[in-house]
Amino acid sequence: MSTNPFRLDGRVAAVIGAGSGIGEAIAKAAAAQGALVVCVDLDGGKAEAVAKAIGGSAVSQALDIRDGAATQASLDGILQKHGRLDACVCTPSINVRKTLLDYSEEEFDKVVAINLRGNFNVLRAAGRIMTKAGTGSIVLVSSIRSLTVEPGQGVYAMTKAGIVQMVRTAASEFGGKGVRVNALGPGVVDTPLTAPIKADKAWYGAYADKSILKRWATPDEMAWPTVFLLSDAASYVTGTILFVDGGWTAQDGRFTPPGM
């Protein structure tokens, strides 16, 4: 273990979804802690731009995580090129905001294909490599919606809860081979995915007021907890979800009694 357990020096980290938002922030934070970062994204151009912004040893590649064979080939390629894969983070997800009665089967399949199958493909591919190596840390991105919901979030919430159960199972299966698996549980974060909410002043304010800190999070505020989970500082942390939500899940938040 390093004298500074929060450092990632000498490690190779694949950050999937690194082209923007939380993934971009995680890629930059991991690099700042000394990791060789492979920026992976559906949009290869965006991934390349982030890798160039990081500089140094950072590289990039394009990947559609809905394709299981391509996902395995992508991570195998990282192993072959760099000789190791110590950390893997998967951030991509989509949300179709509709009530369950209004959802189409096509919309259901679209959300599940990325949020569940895509994350499964990454988890399986990274797990195969890391369990063979006897070391590694995997982080999938869940959400506060794995625990608390609202109208129009049914299918998204289902997938985010499913990610937590996949993480728990993987942690159980991989732990004996030296691999840790955890989930990050963001609250409301200012990213391209939440841009439609930010554009609605009332909706934006309501979400800010729901958290204890009375504001939205920045992508950087998701990045550093993720880097913690990847590092030796979290060497005894596995099979859990780390909520980074400004206190959203800690209080009901609907009403503060007089005099309190």
- CA atoms of 28 and 132, how far apart (whole Å): 28
Rounded to whole angstroms, the Cα distance separating 186 from 166 reads 17
Cβ atoms of 174 and 181 closer than 8 Å: yes
Q: Of these residues, 156, 204, 207, 236, which one is catalytic?
A: 156
Q: How many H helices and E strands in the chain?
A: 9, 7
- Provide the token pair at 53: 């912004």
Tokens (6 digits) for 23 = 């993934």
Taking CA atoms, 84 is separated from 77, 91, 119, 134, 144, in Å, by 10, 21, 21, 11, 32
For residue 28, how many C-alpha atoms fall within 13 Å in the half-sphere facing its CB?
18
156 noted as active-site residue: yes
Q: What angle do CA 13, 16, 21 make, to 5 degrees?
A: 110
- Alpha-carbon 132 to chain mean position: 23
In 3D space, the residue among 55, 43, 35, 53 whose CA is nearest the CA of residue 19 turns out to be 43
Neighbouring-strand partners of residue 179: 136
**Pairing state of beta strands 36-41 and 179-186?**
unpaired
Question: Which residues are known catalytic residues?
Answer: 156
